[in-house]
Chain A
Amino acid sequence: MSRQPRAFFALDFGAATTSAALVGHAGGRWRLLAHAAAPSTTDLDALLFGILDRVEQADRELLEFVSARERPRAAALVTDLARLESRSSPPRRIAVLAGSKRQRRRLEEIAARAGWLVVGGSADVDDPLELSRLVLAWDTHAVLLGADSTPAGDEKRHLPMLGALVAAAARRRPELAVVLAGGAAIQESDFSGAGEHDRIPDAVKVSATAGPAEEDPSAVAVGTSAGAPEAAGATPVMTPVGAPSAAPAVEPAPEGPPSKEAAEGTTAGGPSASAATATTAAVAAAAAHASDLEAPAHAAPVEMPAPAGDRHDSVLLAPDAESGQPAGSALQQVLEGLRARSDESRLGIARSVRSLALLLDKSIEVLEVGVDGGLRCRAEAVGPGHRTIVSSHVAMASGSFAPEDLSDEMIDAVSSWSTIAFDRYRLSDRLRDLRSSPWGEADGEGALLRLAAAKAAVQRLVAATPEISQREMPDILIAAGGVWASTPPSVVALAMADLVRRPGVGRLACDQARLLGPMGAIADEEERRKMLKDLVDDVLLPLGSLVLPAGIRQGRSAGRMRVIGGTANSDIDLQPGGIWAVELPPGQTATADMDFRDAVRLGARGRHFSVEVSGGLGGLFVDLRDIPLRLPDRADQKRATWESWQRAMWSEIDE
Chain B
Amino acid sequence: MSAKARVHGRAATPVTPPELTRIPGRRILVVSPVVQIRIGPGDRVLVSPGQKVTAGMPIAERTVDAEFVDLGRLSGSANGNGKGDGNGGWKDPQQERRRPPTPGKWWVGGDDRRGKNARREGPRRIAGTLLYEINGRWSAAAGERHEKIESPTTGVIMEAANCIGIAMKVTGVAIPAAVAGGQPTRGYLDVPRLVDGELRDTALDMGRSGAIVVAGGRVSAEALTRARAMSIRGMVAGSLGQAELRDLAASEARQRAGLHSMPPFGVLGLDGHQRRPIASPILALLAALAGREVAIITEPPLLVLDVVDVPLPEIPPDWVRVRSGIHAGREGRWLSSAGLHRFRAGIHLEAANVRLGDDLGPTIIALSDLERFIL
Residues of A within 8 A of B (CB): 38-39, 41-43, 46, 127-129, 132-133, 136-138, 160-161, 164-165, 167-169, 171-173, 193, 197-201, 204-206, 208, 211, 213, 216, 218-219, 221-225, 236-238, 240-242, 425, 428-430, 432-433, 436-437, 439-448, 486-488, 650-653, 655
Expressed in whole angstroms, the Cα–Cα distance for A225 and B33 within the complex equals 11
Whether the Cβ atoms of B366 and A425 lie closer than 8 Å is no
Q: Find chain A residues with CB under 8 A from B30 CB.
A: 218-219, 221-222
Whether the Cβ atoms of A133 and B167 lie closer than 8 Å is no
Whether the Cβ atoms of A219 and B31 lie closer than 8 Å is yes
User: Which candidate, B128-136, B181-189, B253-261, B280-288, is the interface stretch facing chain A?
Assistant: B128-136
Q: Find chain B residues with CB under 8 A from A241 CB.
A: 34-36, 299-300
A200's nearest neighbour on chain B, judged by CB, is B85
- With A161-B134, A173-B164, A193-B81 already in contact, the answer to whether A206 and B349 are too (CB < 8 A) is no
Not counting A205-B158, A223-B169, A655-B346, a sample of 13 additional A-B residue pairs whose C-beta atoms are within 8 angstroms of each other reads A129-B41, A129-B42, A132-B41, A164-B132, A168-B103, A172-B162, A200-B89, A205-B159, A240-B299, A241-B299, A241-B300, A436-B178, A437-B323
Whether the Cβ atoms of B49 and A205 lie closer than 8 Å is yes
Q: B60-109: which have CB < 8 Å to A?
A: 66-68, 79-87, 89, 102-104
Q: Find chain A residues with CB under 8 A from B38 CB.
A: 137-138
Among the interface residues A219, A487, A653, which one has the most CB atoms of the partner chain B within 10 A?
Answer: A219
Q: Find chain B residues with CB under 8 A from A448 CB.
A: 345
Q: Would you mind naming 23 contact pairs between A and B with Cβ atoms under 8 Å apart?
A: A46-B21, A129-B131, A161-B132, A171-B80, A198-B103, A199-B85, A208-B158, A218-B32, A219-B30, A221-B30, A222-B174, A222-B302, A224-B34, A236-B167, A240-B36, A437-B272, A437-B323, A440-B324, A442-B368, A443-B344, A443-B345, A653-B345, A653-B346
Q: Find chain B residues with CB under 8 A from A208 CB.
A: 158
Whether the Cβ atoms of A432 and B325 lie closer than 8 Å is no
Shortest A586–chain B CB gap in Å is 18
The verdict on B40 contacting chain A, using a C-beta distance below 8 Å, is yes
Whether the Cβ atoms of A238 and B167 lie closer than 8 Å is yes
Whether the Cβ atoms of A167 and B368 lie closer than 8 Å is no
Whether the Cβ atoms of A164 and B133 lie closer than 8 Å is yes
Whether the Cβ atoms of A447 and B132 lie closer than 8 Å is no
Expressed in whole angstroms, the Cα–Cα distance for A239 and B241 within the complex equals 26
B345's nearest neighbour on chain A, judged by CB, is A447
Expressed in whole angstroms, the Cα–Cα distance for A653 and B344 within the complex equals 7
Expressed in whole angstroms, the Cα–Cα distance for A84 and B189 within the complex equals 50
- With A129-B141, A222-B30 already in contact, the answer to whether A204 and B323 are too (CB < 8 A) is no
Whether the Cβ atoms of B159 and A136 lie closer than 8 Å is no
Whether the Cβ atoms of B241 and A213 lie closer than 8 Å is no
Contact of A204 among B82, B85, B171 (CB under 8 A): B85
- With A241-B299, A444-B326 already in contact, the answer to whether A219 and B345 are too (CB < 8 A) is no
Q: Find chain B residues with CB under 8 A from A132 CB.
A: 41, 131-132, 141, 163
Q: Find chain A residues with CB under 8 A from B31 CB.
A: 213, 216, 218-219
Count residues of B near A (Cβ-Cβ below 8 Å). Answer: 81
Q: B232-273: which have CB < 8 Å to A?
A: 241-243, 272-273
Q: Find chain B residues with CB under 8 A from A165 CB.
A: 131-132
Expressed in whole angstroms, the Cα–Cα distance for A442 and B365 within the complex equals 11
- With A221-B27, A222-B176, A236-B159 already in contact, the answer to whether A441 and B325 are too (CB < 8 A) is yes
Expressed in whole angstroms, the Cα–Cα distance for A241 and B299 within the complex equals 6
Expressed in whole angstroms, the Cα–Cα distance for A165 and B133 within the complex equals 8
Q: Find chain B residues with CB under 8 A from A39 CB.
A: 24, 368
Q: What are the 6 tightest A-B residue pairs by CB atom distance, in nearest-first order?
A: A652-B346, A440-B324, A213-B32, A223-B34, A443-B343, A444-B344
Q: Find chain B residues with CB under 8 A from A216 CB.
A: 31-32
Contact of A168 among B131, B274, B347 (CB under 8 A): B131
Whether the Cβ atoms of A222 and B300 lie closer than 8 Å is yes
Task: Mark each residue of chain B from 355 to 375: 1 if its CB lies under 8 Å from any CB of chain A, else 0.
Answer: 000000000001011000000
Expressed in whole angstroms, the Cα–Cα distance for A650 and B134 within the complex equals 64
Q: Find chain B residues with CB under 8 A from A205 CB.
A: 49-50, 158-159
Contact of A486 among B21, B87, B300, B349 (CB under 8 A): B349
- With A222-B174, A443-B345 already in contact, the answer to whether A432 and B68 are too (CB < 8 A) is no
Shortest A482–chain B CB gap in Å is 12
Among the interface residues A173, A225, A442, which one has the most CB atoms of the partner chain B within 10 A?
Answer: A442
Task: Mark each residue of chain B from 173 to 206: 1 if its CB lies under 8 Å from any CB of chain A, else 0.
Answer: 0101010000000000000000000000000000
The verdict on B126 contacting chain A, using a C-beta distance below 8 Å, is no
Q: Find chain A residues with CB under 8 A from B243 CB.
A: 425
The verdict on B113 contacting chain A, using a C-beta distance below 8 Å, is no
- With A136-B40, A436-B178 already in contact, the answer to whether A211 and B156 are too (CB < 8 A) is yes
Whether the Cβ atoms of B273 and A433 lie closer than 8 Å is yes
Shortest B8–chain A CB gap in Å is 18
The verdict on B48 contacting chain A, using a C-beta distance below 8 Å, is yes
Whether the Cβ atoms of A430 and B274 lie closer than 8 Å is yes
Shortest A407–chain B CB gap in Å is 12
Shortest B358–chain A CB gap in Å is 24
Whether the Cβ atoms of B134 and A160 lie closer than 8 Å is yes
The verdict on B161 contacting chain A, using a C-beta distance below 8 Å, is yes
Q: B130-177: which have CB < 8 Å to A?
A: 131-134, 139, 141, 156-159, 161-165, 167, 169, 171, 174, 176
- With A161-B134, A164-B132 already in contact, the answer to whether A655 and B34 are too (CB < 8 A) is no
The verdict on B348 contacting chain A, using a C-beta distance below 8 Å, is yes
Task: Mark each residue of chain B from 312 to 329: 1 if its CB lies under 8 Å from any CB of chain A, else 0.
Answer: 000000000001111010
Among the interface residues B67, B86, B132, B163, which one has the most CB atoms of the partner chain A within 10 A?
Answer: B132
Shortest A487–chain B CB gap in Å is 8
Among the interface residues B25, B80, B157, which one has the most CB atoms of the partner chain A within 10 A?
Answer: B80
The verdict on B4 contacting chain A, using a C-beta distance below 8 Å, is no
Q: Find chain A residues with CB under 8 A from B87 CB.
A: 200
The verdict on B116 contacting chain A, using a C-beta distance below 8 Å, is no
Shortest A176–chain B CB gap in Å is 11
Q: Find chain B residues with CB under 8 A from A173 CB.
A: 164
The verdict on B22 contacting chain A, using a C-beta distance below 8 Å, is yes
- With A133-B41, A168-B103, A171-B80 already in contact, the answer to whether A128 and B68 are too (CB < 8 A) is yes
Expressed in whole angstroms, the Cα–Cα distance for A448 and B344 within the complex equals 11
Whether the Cβ atoms of A443 and B325 lie closer than 8 Å is yes
Q: Find chain B residues with CB under 8 A from A172 CB.
A: 86, 103-104, 161-164
Q: Find chain A residues with CB under 8 A from B66 CB.
A: 129
Q: Find chain B residues with CB under 8 A from A436 CB.
A: 178, 272
Expressed in whole angstroms, the Cα–Cα distance for A624 and B371 within the complex equals 45
Among the interface residues A127, A208, A216, A439, which one has the most CB atoms of the partner chain B within 10 A?
Answer: A439
Whether the Cβ atoms of A138 and B33 lie closer than 8 Å is no
Contact of B323 among A237, A425, A429, A440 (CB under 8 A): A440
Whether the Cβ atoms of B347 and A238 lie closer than 8 Å is no
- With A133-B40, A222-B30 already in contact, the answer to whether A488 and B346 are too (CB < 8 A) is yes
Expressed in whole angstroms, the Cα–Cα distance for A448 and B164 within the complex equals 42
Shortest A246–chain B CB gap in Å is 13
